[in-house]
Amino acid sequence: MSSQPPVENLRLSPAEPAAARSVQQVAVIGAGKVGTVVARSLLEAGYRVTLSGSGDPAELALMIGILAPGAEARWTADAVAEADLVVLALPLHRLPDLDPALLAGRIVVDSMNYWPPVDGSIAAFDAAEQGSSPVVQQMFPEAIVVKTFNHTGYHHLEPDRRPAGHPERLGLAVAGDEPGAVALVAGLVDRLGYDPVPVDSLAATRFLEPGGPAFGARLTAAELRELVAVPAGRP
């Protein structure tokens, strides 16, 4: 028998601050370089984790057993239905594969970057002066998008993890428009081994993306905070 709470209990309602709920199960969508490293880190931190790709989960099971043992392969729709939190770790050009209705009401971590050599040229992202995550939010208007993980290399994410208070602990930006969702993801980032640096707007995250000063820079929280931009129009 499943120990999962009913799916409806995991959806956000305006009256329910996201931070008040605890994350136990995470659906990582995309079982490539980032997805498997994020999955492994989450498992080590004590979360239940599913991984899904674009196809039959049976085809992922062997790879997951080697690269993220303990994670479970799922169809994406089943993974999302079971999860308290969703991590998008697929190439941006594949994002239109996902039905926006699937992510309605979900807190969704955007770990992705627009990378034309892989993604090709996509007009909406080419024109996105405020970065890729506001576009992702527009594509999934009923989801609550929180940006993190994107500014570190997949090969650094695991070895850079440190316990709280460690002098070499690095920071990870956690950006979003909904404070409760940012707080919830910040708690997860902390548990993974990074000092979360909250950023209160998806529109202020260009500095985290390819070409930006924080991208691949492996910064402490204090160093990251110095780079947090104030969105245009804000005092």
Ligand X SMILES: NC(=O)c1ccc[n+]([C@@H]2O[C@H](COP(=O)([O-])OP(=O)(O)OC[C@H]3O[C@@H](n4cnc5c(N)ncnc54)[C@H](OP(=O)(O)O)[C@@H]3O)[C@@H](O)[C@H]2O)c1
Which of 58, 232 has the CB closer to ligand X? 58
Q: x/- contact string, 45-64, with ligand X (CB under 6 A)?
A: -------xxxx---------
Considering only the C-alpha atoms of the chain, give the largest distance between any 2 of them, rounded to a whole number of Å: 53
Q: What is the closest distance, in whole angstroms, from the C-beta atom of residue 5 to ligand X in the complex?
A: 25
Give the separation between CA 69 and CA 43, rounded to whole angstroms. 9
Which of 115, 122 has the CB closer to ligand X? 115
Residue 30 touching ligand X (CB under 6 A) = yes
Looking at residue 203, the DSSP 8-state letter turns out to be G
Q: Which of 61, 142, 153, 164 binds ligand X (CB under 6 A)?
A: 153
> Cα Rg for the chain, rounded, in angstroms?
17
Which of 57, 198 has the CB closer to ligand X? 57
Give the separation between CA 23 and CA 47, rounded to whole angstroms. 8
Task: Pick the piece of the chain touching ligand X (CB under 6 A) from 7-15, 33-41, 99-107, 159-167.
Answer: 33-41
Q: What is the closest distance, in whole angstroms, from the C-beta atom of residue 230 to ligand X in the complex?
A: 25
Query: Minimal CA–CA distance to 146: which of 81, 206, 200, 91?
Result: 200
Which tokens in the block code for residue 37? 């490293």
Give the separation between CA 234 and CA 112, rounded to whole angstroms. 26
As beta bridge partners, residue 88 has 29, 110
Which tokens in the block code for residue 195? 């000092």
Which of 90, 197 has the CB closer to ligand X? 90
Give the separation between CA 8 and CA 24, rounded to whole angstroms. 15
Residue number of the CB closest to ligand X reads 32
Give the separation between CA 232 and CA 235, rounded to whole angstroms. 8
Residue 90 touching ligand X (CB under 6 A) = yes
Residue 75 touching ligand X (CB under 6 A) = no
Positions in 132-151 near ligand X (CB under 6 A): 150
Residue 115 touching ligand X (CB under 6 A) = yes
Q: What residue ranges bind ligand X (CB under 6 A)?
A: 29-35, 52-55, 76, 89-92, 94, 97, 111-113, 115, 150, 153-154
